[in-house]
Chain A
C-alpha cells in the first residue's frame, strides 16, 4: 500500500464548476497535510495546509480533512482554465521520521 495515494486522473471539469481532488494516506499518526499545485515543467507551489479535522477555506480553495477516515481533499470552486495543473497531496509521515511524503498527483484539466 502506498503511503499517500491520489487518483492520477486526468480529471476534467467544466469552467465554473467545482473540482474535487482526493487523497488518502496510510499513517494514522500523521498530523500535517499540504496541497501543492504544479504546472507542467514548473516546481510545486503551496496552496493550502491543514492540521485539524474539518474544512479550511482560502479564496476559491477549500481543504477538507478527516483523520478518522484518513483522507484529505481539495475543492476548487469556480474553476478557471488557469487551475489546470497537477495537484500534489503531501502528508507529514511518522513512518519517515516526520518527513513529507508526496502523492504522485492528480492532473486536473479545466475545460473552457
Chain B
C-alpha cells in the first residue's frame, strides 16, 4: 500500500543535542510538509517542499532545518533542541499545493531531556 513512513516513531534527545527525523513516501507526491503539533494544539506548518523548491514559514525558528534529497525522502533537522521543542512532528504529502488533500505519516514523538 502507498503510504507515508516516519522514523523513528519515538525519539528522546538531550537538551542541545542535534536530532534528525526522517520521512519517506511511496505516493509519488510532489509536495512534502513538516508540521509540529503540541498537546491540544493545531498542527503548525514548519516547512514544505514543492519538488525541490523549499518554502520556510516565516515564524519557523532557525533551529529547524529541512532537506529533501529526492522525491521520496525528506528530513527534519533540529540543530539544538530545547525543552520547548518537545512535540509530535508530522510529515505529510500531497499531489500539489493548496487545494490538494494532505496525507499524514504516523508522526515522531520527540522528547527533550
Contacts and interface: CB of A to CB of B under 8 A. Distances in A.
Interface in B94-113: 97-99, 101-107, 109
A1 interface: no
A43 B40 contact: no
Given A44-B43, A99-B45, A105-B42, A49 B107 contact: no
B90 interface: yes
Contacts of B104: 36, 43-46
A46 B101 contact: yes
Interface residues of A, number: 25
> Interface size class for chain B?
10 to 19
B50 to A, nearest CB: 11
Contact of A43 (B97, B101, B107): B107
B95 to A, nearest CB: 12
Nearest to A40: B39
A102 B42 contact: yes
Contacts of B105: 43
Interface string A71-90: 00000000000000000101
A32 interface: yes
A88 B42 contact: yes
A49 B95 CA distance: 14
A43 B102 CA distance: 12
Given A43-B107, A44-B104, 9 more contacts: A4-B42, A34-B102, A41-B109, A43-B104, A46-B103, A46-B104, A49-B101, A98-B98, A100-B102
9 contacts: A42-B107, A43-B90, A46-B101, A51-B99, A92-B99, A98-B99, A101-B42, A102-B42, A105-B42
Interface of A: 4, 8, 31-32, 34, 36, 41-46, 49, 51, 88, 90, 92, 98-105
